[in-house]
Amino acid sequence: MRLHSFAIILAGLLFFSSTLDAQMRGGFGDRGERGFRGERPDRIRVHERLDLTSEQEAQLSEFRTQHQKQMIDKRAELQKLRLSIREEMRQESPDMSAIENMVEQQGAIRTEMMHARVSHWNNVRDVLTPEQREIWQQYRRGFGEFGDRRGSGRRGYRGR
């Protein structure tokens, strides 16, 4: 009974996390008015307001590319773990210690992703002048002329 309950709860959590992950990513790929993820109208406006030098633009572009590559790799690792957990759950006698280990690995990867995000934002911050930092901070908080950014960060924001 205990194993069965744990399996049901774990399956529910996996479903919820993958659904939430898909919702948070949002976007319409190469279709729709938003275009690709990096082309949100509010991001374009903040870029114009920052009045970046060509050197700053080059540095930020490099940071963005490296960060995106890193996040792609980490998201792929998470997806592989999700599949492995599902595969193990389908077994006649799932190895619960293996499943728990994979769940812990997922947590470690999410922690690595958060550390990478913090490092990325710190790198961006270091490139900006004090005036640009203030504009950028307003954008990050969702204030000012950057549109309706409900919620904190990406939570609650669905690209509307």
Task: Share the mean pLDDT of the chain.
Answer: 76
For the domain that residue 75 is a member of, what is the CATH number? Answer: 1.20.120
In a domain, 10, yes or no: no
Please give the pLDDT value at position 138. 82
User: What is the per-residue burial (b if ≥16 Cβ within 10 Å, else e) of 119-146?
Assistant: ebeebbeebbeeebeebbeebeebebeb
* Domain membership flag for residue 56: yes
**Residue range 98-138, pLDDT digits in tens:** 999 999 999 999 999 999 999 999 999 999 999 988 888 88
Asked if residue 34 is part of any domain, the answer here is: no
- Domain residues for the domain of 97 are 40-148
